[in-house]
Amino acid sequence: MKVLIYRYGSICEPDIIATFKKMDFDVIEYDREITHKKDEPSLSVKLLSDFLQDHEADFVFSINFFPYVSEVCRIYHLRYLSWIVDAPVMELYSKSITNECNRVFLFDRALYNDIHPFNEKCVFHLPLAARTEDSDHLIESASRADIDRFSHEVAFVGSLYSEKCPYDRAKKIPEETAGYLQGIMEAQVRVYGYYFIEDLISDKIVEDFKSGIEGFYTYPAESFLTDKRTLSQLYIGNKVTAMERDLTFRTLSENFNTSIYTASDTSAYPHIHNMGLAKTLTEMPLIFHYSKININTTSKPIRTGLPLRIFDILSCGGFCLSNYQEEIPELLVPDEDIVMYGSMEELVDKCAYYLEHDDLRREIAINGYRKLKENYSYEKQLEKLLLTAYSF
């Protein structure tokens, strides 16, 4: 079979392409969006249509969901398979989600519960995955200098979200509303396993916020998206993530030798070691493997599922200490494959414990690696995806 991979630059795409090829698919890559992010929708439709006329494919696949790709596939009577790896993905609320050609796979069950009613036959829940082949080779061939460079006591790779907060553009929110939102956000920072923000914002709160910000996000076409959901997920969700990461890494750096690889501003953390950006393919696997403790702090819009970072860490044989997520115990055995925390106090206690118990920490890292390789490789998850997509 021939699969057309619609590419936009996701870090998952190379592994997906390699896995499809390993499964003996003929892979055709359409990569215009990687270098042309601002094409008008009409041009995007035309160019993809022209490409499909010149390149015969049995189905189209993408990481995340692109409404115009769905519309083109509807016209060409092609199945459009998409695997969602991020949150929020506002395009999921487009009316194009209802197209019968779609086979949409969501890694987060809470997000699945939101989207499934729009197209009950064609929307599914599927956790994420990782490949181990490339990282295995990289780790096996690491030099002594590489090992020394990328070995840390407590490590984190990613953004602190301080630069990803559209919430901060709101300058004129009524004082009472601003105080209320600050209060519920501070409460949400300390609660793991339940995202309650949308339940606590009224229509008046939404209107007050919209009145205090220029350019409140509105989906450009007909959609199921509500302003309340936009405020909860896009604005407040990212803000709470930034607040939580501020607290997390301030706490960690004051108690442990903590290194983070990030482009975020860390000048407010005098005890932290900012190592700059890490190269995804050649450095991140070494960091995950050789660091004693790798921290996963899940973005708040990911309400129940396992983020890609957990799979990344486990695929490199790294020890992962993650915030509690509802779906983790469904996929992994806590304290055998992965370790979770539910508060800052528990995070500090568990960091201290596992830094003192090397043998147990290494055993958990090995278990997590084996569990991922046996159950959540890209090959196994794509097999599930394809069987489901072609089951009717």
Is 164's pLDDT higher than 90? Answer: no
Strand partners, 377: 130
% of the chain at pLDDT higher than 90: 98
Do 100 and 145 lie in a common domain?
no
Domain region containing 385: 2-129+378-389
Do 287 and 382 lie in a common domain?
no
Retrieve residue 136's tokens: 């295995």
Q: Give the pLDDT confidence score for residue 74 in this predicted structure.
A: 98
Encode pLDDT of 183-219 as tens digits: 999 999 999 999 999 999 999 999 999 999 999 999 9
DSSP characters over 157-171: ES--STTS-GGGG--
Q: Distance between CA 244 and CA 238 in Å, rounded?
A: 10
Do 118 and 160 lie in a common domain?
no
Do 43 and 147 lie in a common domain?
no
* CA angle 45–51–53, rounded 5-degree value: 105
CATH number of the domain bearing residue 125: 3.40.50.11930
Do 382 and 369 lie in a common domain?
no
CATH number of the domain bearing residue 208: 3.40.50.2000
DSSP characters over 4-32: EEE-S--TTHHHHHHHHHHTT-EEEEE-H
Do 156 and 186 lie in a common domain?
yes
Do 218 and 335 lie in a common domain?
yes
Do 289 and 314 lie in a common domain?
yes
| Cβ proximity of 65 and 84 under 8 Å | yes
What is the pLDDT averaged over residues 121-132? 97
Retrieve residue 233's tokens: 């997920």
What is the pLDDT averaged over residues 357-374? 98
Q: Give the pLDDT confidence score for residue 114 in this predicted structure.
A: 97
What is the pLDDT averaged over residues 269-283? 96
3-state secondary structure 109-124: HHHHHHHHHHCCCCEE
Do 102 and 142 lie in a common domain?
no
Do 170 and 282 lie in a common domain?
yes
Q: Distance between CA 308 and CA 376 in Å, rounded?
A: 11
Q: What total number of domains does the chain contain?
A: 2
Encode pLDDT of 37-85 as tens digits: 999 999 999 999 999 999 999 999 999 999 999 999 999 999 999 999 9
Do 250 and 189 lie in a common domain?
yes
% of the chain at pLDDT higher than 70: 100
Q: Distance between CA 243 and CA 160 in Å, rounded?
A: 9
Do 275 and 344 lie in a common domain?
yes
